[in-house]
Structure 1
Amino acid sequence: MGSGKSTVGKQLASALGYDFFDSDKEIEHSTGVKISLIFELEGEAGFRKREHNMIADLSTRSQITLATGGGSILDPENRKALQNNGFVIYLQASTSQIIKRTRRDSTRPLLQTENPEERLNELMKIRAPLYESIADLVFNTDSHSVPEVAQQVLRYIRKS
């Protein structure tokens, strides 16, 4: 959430000659509605089920770059699918940086709260260890531009 997954992912896909997929955008495309409406109608559990099915499908494809939703890591089956089928990059960002990047974005249902910074800290406390547990590469994006992040990650991938 706000770490640059989709933006960096698109640049990586382009540089590698891969197709790019964003699991949230694919869910919106397949349902015809925004993620926020899915949360409203089906709750987080309904959304997570859709997310699980989308990641199960996308993670089996070859030569793609996949940006997943921030909470996809909570599902053990998602973690397993991602870890077993690809090179996992955790783009890390500080809470303050994520707040800066997402403060005007009303499409983030989990941050639609009175204290988004507190909520984000709660989410990261749970999610960060899970991200780290499956990541082949952890890269902090706080002080880097998108092209810099993409270039550094690409360099690492090509060495591997």
Structure 2
Amino acid sequence: MTAKTVDLGRLVEVLGSRSIVLVGIMGCGKSTVGKRLAHRLGLEFVDADSEIERAANMTVSEIFAEHGERYFRSGEERVIARLLREGPQVLATGGGAFMSAATREEIAEHGVSIWLKVDFDTVMARVRRRATRPLLQNPDPEGTMRNLLSEREPVYARASLTVTSRDVPHEAVVNQIIDALADHLFQGEDGNVPQSST
């Protein structure tokens, strides 16, 4: 099955008020892929980090520098809990958001979580393009990234769905997500995935 055979209107209908929540390490493509996924499904795209910055009137980097990670994570929990009540939407979360048990519970109640899984080499090539990642502002960003992946991947694996984010056109990853969502949301409806009329 490819995404072309999925009835997108039916997919959104079955989703109801839930949000599609993208989780994963920084640089896995949550924002880039999320925008395209939202466009395909006719939903709003929301970036949790941008909402946190708007609420705090500071950048994520500034919040980390002035108040520390614990302060940031507390605000992140509150903002994501609020956003999840505004669904349906495609919500991209920060790399550490899903590590919070409270946030995972909120997502389980109000959304469908999708882990965009990415390998180390791919993610390092991507994050090197942006020098604004607070957790990588140290002499050994590669070592930090390896540690983050080993710590976080077992938690990301608790997401409802896993889609591999590879260096392929973004639309290919969007198709994978739509296929995975259809398999997940249409389970038990009658054993068949609705076919598009187009």
TM-score bracket for this pair, using the shorter chain length: over 0.9
Between the aligned partners of 1:31 and 1:54, the Cα distance in structure 2 is 10
Q: Deviations over 1:93-122 (max 9, x none)?
A: 111111100103122100111111110111
Which residue of structure 2 aligns with residue 42 of structure 1?
67
| Higher deviation after alignment, 35-44 or 57-66 | 57-66
Is the CA contact (8 Å cut-off) linking 1:88 and 1:136 kept in structure 2?
yes
Between the aligned partners of 1:146 and 1:102, the Cα distance in structure 2 is 17
Identity of aligned residues (%): 37
1:70 paired with 2:83, answer no
Between the aligned partners of 1:101 and 1:62, the Cα distance in structure 2 is 29
Aligned-residue RMSD, C-alpha: 1.2
Is the CA contact (8 Å cut-off) linking 1:92 and 1:139 kept in structure 2?
yes
> Matched residue of 2:87: which SS?
coil
Which residue of structure 2 aligns with residue 137 of structure 1?
161
Is the CA contact (8 Å cut-off) linking 1:19 and 1:65 kept in structure 2?
yes
> Matched residue of 1:62: which SS?
coil
> Matched residue of 1:50: which SS?
helix
Is the CA contact (8 Å cut-off) linking 1:18 and 1:65 kept in structure 2?
yes
Higher relative contact order (CA 8 A, sep 6+): 2
**Length, aligned pairs only:** 159
> Matched residue of 1:88: which SS?
strand
Which residue of structure 2 aligns with residue 122 of structure 1?
147
Is the CA contact (8 Å cut-off) linking 1:96 and 1:117 kept in structure 2?
no
Q: Which of 61, 77, 86 is the matching residue for 2:86?
A: 61
| Higher deviation after alignment, 84-93 or 135-144 | 135-144
1:158 positional shift: 2.9
Q: Larger helix proportion, structure 1 or 2?
A: 1
Between the aligned partners of 1:136 and 1:31, the Cα distance in structure 2 is 30
Unaligned runs of 5+ in 1: none
TM-score computed with the length of structure 2 as normaliser:
0.77
Between the aligned partners of 2:138 and 2:177, the Cα distance in structure 1 is 33
1:124 positional shift: 1.0
Which residue of structure 1 aligns with residue 77 of structure 2?
52
Between the aligned partners of 1:150 and 1:14, the Cα distance in structure 2 is 10
